[in-house]
Structure formats: C-alpha cells, structure tokens
Amino acid sequence: MNIGIVGFGGMGKTHAYAVENLKYFYSPLDFSAKVLGVCCAHFEKAEAACKVFGFEKAYRDEDELIADPCIDIVDICTPNHLHYETLKKAIAAGKHIYCEKPLCITDAQAQEIAAMAREKGIICAVVFNTRFLLPVLRAKELVESGRIGDVLSFSGRFLHSSAADPERRAGWKQNREICGGGVLFDLGSHTIDLIRWICGEFRSVSGLSQIAYPTRLGMNGEEWQTNADEAFYMTATLECGACGTIAVGKIMAGTNDDHSFEIYGTKGSVAFDLMQPNFLRFYDATAPESERGYTNIECCGRYPAPSGVFPGVKAPVGWLRGHVGSMYNFLDCVHRGVPCAPSFDDGAAVQRIMEAAYLSAEKGARVDIK
C-alpha cells in the first residue's frame, strides 16, 4: 500500500515514523506499506523531505498527489481549515484516507464528509491516537466488562503550557482563521473522543471559553489580537445518565502533555494520566473495606522508549506507540477491506459535540446534542 502524505510538519513526520516502524511492533505483518511521497506548501520542503527520509516522490501540490494512480492512501496532516477541500478531492478519487483531527472545522462539513465516505465505500480514519495507548485500552476493557459498574461520573483534562507565556508568539493552532477553533479543537477533541469511546454518547454540554491574553505577538512578530480560546471548560451529560467535566487549555503553567481522565462507577473507578503512561489506576469498591485502595495496573508494552528531540521533549514515553498502533489499525483495515474505527463518523460526532460546546459558551446556556 502506497501512502501519500499531505503536509509534512511534526505530525507528518510522526505518521511517517509510524508507517516505517510497524514491522518492529507487529511481526510478522500481513501487509506491506510505505510512504511513497509527500507534498508541502512549498515544493522545496517536499524535495528536502524526500532526500532526508528516502521517499520516492515530491509532489508540487495535493492535486498531483491525489491524482497519482500509484497512491492508495492519502494521509492528511495539514492545518484544520484545509481538511475539508482535501477530503472531498481524496474521496472523489476513491482513495482511502487517514486524517488528523479534527476532521473538519464545522459540524456541517464533518457530517458531509462522513456521508461522502460512506457512499463511496472507502476506508477512512481520524487520528485519535490516544485510544491506542495500552492503559486506555485497558480502561475501556474494564468499563465494558462491568468492573466499575454503571458509569456515574467522569472527569477529563488535557493541559499544556505552550501559551502560558504572554511574550511567546502565537502559533497557527491558536489562530481561529487557520485552526477553525482554539484549544477545544486541538486538545479537546482527543478528550471528548476518549470519554465518548469509553463511556458512550453525549446528551448535552455546557461550555465556557477563556482567553487569558487578549493581546500577544502574532506569528509575524507583530501585535495580534487573540481570536481563539486558550482554555475551554465543559460540563456534559451522557446518554447513560453519567455527568462530568472536561477541561482543556494551553495556559496552565507547569504542565507539559498532561492528558488525564477519571471514570467513576457504582462498583469502582479507573484513572489514567498520560504523564504516567505505563499504568492505569483501578479502584475496586467491591473489595473488603480493609483491602480497598487504588491499584496501579502495569500496562507496560515492553518496548524501547523513544528518545532525542523527536517527537519533542515534552512528549511522554509511549506517545509514539499510540501513533504506531493507530496507523496499524487503519492499514490493517485497508488490507482486510473492513470498516475502520475511529471512523469519519466518530470524527463527525466529536465535531458536533465541540460545535455545541462553542454554541453553549456563546449563548451562556446548555445545548443538547442533536
């Protein structure tokens, strides 16, 4: 299977790493896959990537990449506001698609894309890579098997410090014109997906948006007015009756890649922290009172920890393993010709929840998920 990557920044490199290293994590592989080529905003960058990483083709634009009959899979790693048009082209060309989150920047776009993909019969996936971390997989298993009973409450957080310094220039993910939203899109989409995947569908949300630094330096170094949420807070109800909170932000000093959740049930609870990625905490409320207490369930995958400057000094041990697992899950589905999850329907569902949260923050009222 030949993959063409559209956009080759940090996530493009991460996806290419995942493809290249599948053979080390999944042996023997039932299929073969490689990154055939890339395209970037500037052709020179695509050429440089080919030289450094050994790709065969540097494309001048995404149209050339998508039209290439040698390309089986289009991997989209561009800024959010570009996804919609690229997705439509790739679907029309009958390519299988692996797309970074969020799927699109509006609910209407996401629903349209999901419907188009279903009608075309292609295999698609949204990169909710945190699903594939071992403690998260174990948490879902414990919840689904009834070990914590009926889910009553939950709490999820994804906190960064990348915007905590008001003197630091804003990046494109902080610009609504490019990102389509703010931190809710960038970080919140992951947390919403995990809660929905483990606990069930959302029923209603109430959102609160925060801009801590209305004025900061823009990408060009000039004074710029912040136009996207730097933090976002939600309360939510689920179809199962559970209630909970989600908080995401990039203004939290002292945090790195602090993605965590707790899920509380009638018989116990589970808790996960990405900064402690080798363990899932489990509390069994059915145990004798004298034996109760959180247990650290060891979820180590017995794989070497990635090191160095890639993917970044803040990424905890195991972060790349989630991307490798996500890529394997998608390519295996393509190989077997079966639907993939997380699907575009999952991406569209998360998009609808985020849009409802933004609407709630704007109206100052709870919004039902329709």
Cα–Cα distance, 260 to 266 (Å, whole number): 21
Q: Is the pLDDT of residue 43 over 80?
A: yes
- Peptide bond just before 28 cis, omega within 30 deg: yes
Question: Residue 303 has what pLDDT?
Answer: 36
276: which 2 tokens? Answer: 């402690």
Please give the full DSSP string across 203-261, using - where no structure is assigned. EEEEEEEE-S-SEEE-TTSSEEE--S-SEEEEEEEETTS-EEEEEEES--TT-SSEEEE
Q: Is the pLDDT of residue 349 over 50?
A: yes
- Peptide bond just before 342 cis, omega within 30 deg: yes
* pTM of the predicted protein model: 0.84
223-225 vs 231-238, strand pairing mode:
unpaired
- Residues with Cβ within 8 Å of 70's Cβ and at least 6 positions away in sequence, in order, are 2, 36
What is the mean pLDDT of the segment spanning 341-368? 95
What is the mean pLDDT of the segment spanning 100-108? 96
Cα–Cα distance, 331 to 19 (Å, whole number): 9
What is the mean pLDDT of the segment spanning 165-173? 88
Question: Of 183-197, 216-230, 337-351, which gets the smallest average pLDDT?
Answer: 216-230
Which residues are registered as beta bridge partners of 207? Answer: 234
Closest CA to 241 of 218, 260, 264: 264
Cα–Cα distance, 29 to 332 (Å, whole number): 9
Chain-centroid distance of CA 315 in Å reads 14
Q: Is the pLDDT of residue 308 over 80?
A: no
Q: Is the pLDDT of residue 173 over 80?
A: yes
Decide if 97 contacts 118 (C-beta within 8 A): no
Q: Computed over its alpha carbons, how large is the radius of gyration of the chain?
A: 21
Please give the full DSSP string across 268-328, using - where no structure is assigned. EEEEEETTSTTEEEEEETTS-GGG-S-EEEE-----PPP-SSSS-TTSPTTHHHHHHHHHH
- CA torsion through residues 168, 172, 176, 180, sign: negative
Which of residues 219 and 111 earns the better pLDDT score? Answer: 111
Name the helix (H) or strand (E) containing 166.
Answer: none
196: which 2 tokens? Answer: 């929905």
Question: Residue 26 has what pLDDT?
Answer: 75
Q: How confident is the model at residue 219 (pLDDT cuts 50, 70, 90)?
A: confident
Which residues are registered as beta bridge partners of 238? Answer: 202
What is the mean pLDDT of the segment spanning 138-161? 97
